[in-house]
Amino acid sequence: MGYAHQRFSRLLPVFSLLLLLGCAGPIKERPNDPLIGRIYDTSNGQELSPEQFLRRAESADVLYLGEKHDNAEHHARQLEIIQSLVDRGLTPAIGFEFFDVGETGYLKQYVEGTGSSLKIAGSKSKKSQEQWLRKRLGWQDASEEYWGFYFSLVDLAKTHKLEVFGADLPSGVKSRLSRVGLKGLNPVELSLLTPTGLEDDAYRQLMYEAFRQGHCGWGEEELLKRLYQTWIARNDRMAMSIVQIVEDNTARPVVVILGNGHIQHSQGVFERVAHLNPRLRQINLGFREVSSSPHPLPYYLKTERAGGKEFPPDHQVIWFSSRQDYGDPCAGIPTPQ
């Protein structure tokens, strides 16, 4: 099993089969789609220039840069946006879904150059410092490209002395929760959860259907329940991490690097941050791969209904990118009866 599979399994141990298979290696095809590279406000369908978007981002308390984890173009744009914010005199903080709250200390030690082990490594070379961090975070087996997606952002924080933090639940808790559910956790494990108390049956139905689609139509009720409990616990933890950083830090905006699903339809983390602190100004940007064949803009601005509720388009702002095709991951898998 490749490293991308392993790291995705840390994010959600029994996650979408579509995503798992999707990391096996892309088919090198790029459609000639006129939307690639363009930015749109989904509330009115108006196109934004990068400058117009950055002016909006300047005034945000929280800026989400939603990604498809293995799309290099998405990570390049994230880096450009944060550098542009710094060039405008801002001091953004950077939070990561891919690192958990317990790994924040390692990120801080690298960025600040503190800690005896890092100082020893630093006496050798900058590369030694990078390897120190990579080992502490358990990324030794990652490809150079994949590690570079996230390290480039951490290194940018080091260069400009920016705040950094891991936002997600510890891996062990995620793994256990997805396998035994909330009732199977012991008191110590439960103490690591940070429930916001936000419940939405319509969102639960929406996510159940997403999990079924991610498993090629398969999904027993008990499995879906555990997946959803894990999903909500992770979104709660990330939301709490973001609010804690915002309320205890003058850095603005807090830029959050996370998968698109966690902010899709301005739900998940986005909704929970708003629930915890309604005063915060949030911007939900999703980097969106174009479809396998070109479609007009309205195709991407559709709302979605579940449980009698209409959910808004995927993101407040969509920045289109080229796509990485993997073929049909459900091909050959029997349809559940």
pLDDT digits (tens, 9 = 90+) for 19-69: 333 343 444 455 689 999 999 999 999 999 999 999 999 999 999 999 999
Question: What is the CA 265 to chain-centroid distance, rounded?
Answer: 14
Please give the average per-residue pLDDT across 9-20, as a whole number.
39
Task: Identify the pLDDT of residue 14.
Answer: 36
φ/ψ region of 261 (left if φ > 0, alpha if ψ in -120 to 50, else beta) reads alpha
pLDDT at 10 over 80: no
- Retrieve residue 35's tokens: 């939307």
* CATH code given to domain 3-15+33-321: 3.40.50.11550
pLDDT at 327 over 80: no
Task: Identify the pLDDT of residue 214.
Answer: 79
Its pTM stands at: 0.89
Closest CA to 129 of 120, 138, 137: 120
> How many residues are given for the chain?
337
Task: Identify the pLDDT of residue 3.
Answer: 42
The number of helix segments (H) and strand segments (E) in the chain equals: 13, 10
Please give the average per-residue pLDDT across 113-137, as a whole number.
78
Least confident of 59-68, 109-118, 296-305: 109-118
Task: Identify the pLDDT of residue 18.
Answer: 36
pLDDT at 191 over 50: yes
- Residue 260, helix vs strand vs coil: helix
Closest CA to 280 of 108, 64, 118, 76: 64
How many Cβ atoms from other residues are within 10 Å of residue 328's Cβ?
A: 11
Q: How far apart are CA 27 and CA 81, in angstroms?
A: 28
Task: Identify the pLDDT of residue 336.
Answer: 66
Q: How far apart are CA 208 and CA 201, in angstroms?
A: 10
Please give the average per-residue pLDDT across 252-273, as a whole number.
97
Could you write out the DSSP letters of every residue in 296-332? Answer: -GGGGS--EEETTEEE--S-SEEEEE---B---TTTT
Please give the average per-residue pLDDT across 139-168, as a whole number.
95
Instruction: State the residue for tokens 């997606």.
Output: 149
Task: Identify the pLDDT of residue 125.
Answer: 77
The answer to whether residues 32 and 291 touch, using CB atoms and an 8 Å cutoff, is no
Task: Identify the pLDDT of residue 127.
Answer: 85
- Retrieve residue 318's tokens: 């969509």
Q: Of all residues in the chain, what percent carry a pLDDT higher than 70?
A: 84
The three-point CA angle 284-102-134 to 5° equals: 90
pLDDT digits (tens, 9 = 90+) for 75-107: 999 999 999 999 999 999 999 999 999 999 999
- Domain boundaries along the sequence of the chain: 3-15+33-321
Please give the average per-residue pLDDT across 99-122, as a whole number.
83
Task: Identify the pLDDT of residue 93.
Answer: 97
**In degrees to the nearest 10, what's the CA dihedral of 267, 181, 173, 269?**
0
Query: What is the pLDDT confidence band of residue 213, given thresholds at 50, 70 and 90?
Result: confident
Query: What is the pLDDT confidence band of residue 219, given thresholds at 50, 70 and 90?
Result: confident
Across the chain, mean pLDDT equals: 88
